[in-house]
Homo-oligomer: A and B are copies of this chain.
Amino acid sequence: MYPRSISNLIEAFKYFPGVGEKTAERMAFNVLGMDKVQTDFLANSINNVKEKIKRCEICNNFTESNICSICEDKLRNADFLCVVEDPKTVISIEKLGTFHGFYHVLNGLINNTNGINPEDIRLDKLIKRIEDGKFKEVIIAVKPCLEGEMTALYISNVLNGMNITVSRLASGIPMGADMEYIDPITLEKAFDNRKKISYNETTNS
């Protein structure tokens, strides 16, 4: 019904997760409304990202060189290694500007039901890096879920006895959340990990 080039573009947009016929149509019409400079930039950016982006040889983060800019940064604190699930989390943590250590990006999480074992997410590479390095603390910053817990547990087990602190980001109720909508597991975790309120904190707040 559409001219060939439009229907091709609609099909192409359906590669994006969650994009169905309607959204893909709308996006294709958006492209028709863009000027040539914009569509050139868009198409070139897609090609470039696929051609140039590879994984950092040290930390597995996205990079255009062999070693990413964070791993190459001599000013970072070599005492801390933050283990994340994907490159997006690196960006989120970097945006905070409070963590100055290094990162290690996994290729996913251990998942027994889906048959994803430690070797599938190359945990051996992480372990080797820690063994070779001088990190004092490994902070596991993967999402709090069954797979996250299993991955964290596996890493801390392997590192057991290596004189390295292995820590995990705190689980609990997110700031600004409505208590009514907190799921029971989060609520239970928040109870278990409750913190004593010190006199100073209460007077400061």
Residues of A that sit less than 8 Å from B by CB? 1-6, 8-9, 11-13, 15-17, 25, 27-32, 34, 36, 38-53, 62-64, 68-69, 87-88, 91, 94-95
Contact = CB atoms under 8 A, between A and B. Distances in A.
Contact of A52 (B3, B29, B39): B3
A15 B39 CA distance: 9
Given A32-B62, A43-B44, A44-B43, A49 B5 contact: yes
Given A3-B52, A50-B36, A45 B12 contact: yes
A42 B25 CA distance: 14
Nearest to A87: B29
Given A53-B32, A88-B25, A5 B45 contact: yes
13 contacts: A1-B94, A8-B41, A8-B48, A8-B49, A11-B41, A12-B46, A15-B38, A16-B27, A25-B88, A28-B49, A32-B49, A39-B46, A39-B47
